Amino acid sequence: MPQRPGRSQNKLARCRKLEREIALLQFNQSLINAGNEVNNALSDISAARERNVLIKEQIELLTDAVTKTELLMRHSPTNYLEVLTAQQALLAARQTEVQCRYDEIAGIISLHHALGGGR
């Protein structure tokens, strides 16, 4: 028995309606994902900047410690190993500072991408 034209058009209309709903859900999910990406990037930037402030304070203290250890070595029986240990701690702090700066820049790049730039 052949189908009536009205019935076929009704199915087609329902299909199109469902396709629109799917497209709308996909669009909403894309918006949510984009918002999450922006939020994560901003969070990464903020965390890196906070760590950078702390590491700068640590570098100042360690620089002072190296200077004082070098003075102690010149004017007391302190050995060179203590100077090297202080310098090693300072180097590690500076490496951490570079990593924090890198993390901040990576966060800024992620934010740029999340907002639609680049790629």
Asked whether residue 119 is domain-assigned, the answer is no
What pLDDT is recorded for position 11? 87
What pLDDT is recorded for position 119? 57
Query: Considering only CA atoms, which of 11, 15, 30, 42 is closest in space to residue 108?
Result: 42
What pLDDT is recorded for position 43? 93
Asked whether residue 69 is domain-assigned, the answer is yes
What pLDDT is recorded for position 114? 85
Asked whether residue 70 is domain-assigned, the answer is yes
Asked whether residue 41 is domain-assigned, the answer is yes
Asked whether residue 63 is domain-assigned, the answer is yes
Measured distance CA(111)–CA(53) in Å, rounded: 21
Measured distance CA(31)–CA(27) in Å, rounded: 6
Range of the domain at 101: 5-114
pLDDT tens, residue order, the chain (119 aa): 555 557 788 888 899 999 999 999 999 999 999 899 999 999 999 999 999 999 999 999 999 999 999 888 888 877 888 899 999 999 999 999 999 999 999 999 989 988 888 75
Q: What is the CATH number of the domain that holds 67?
A: 1.10.287
- What long-range pairs does 39-43 form, CB within 8 A, spacing at least 24? 40/110, 40/114, 41/107, 41/108, 41/110, 41/111, 41/113, 41/114, 42/107, 42/111
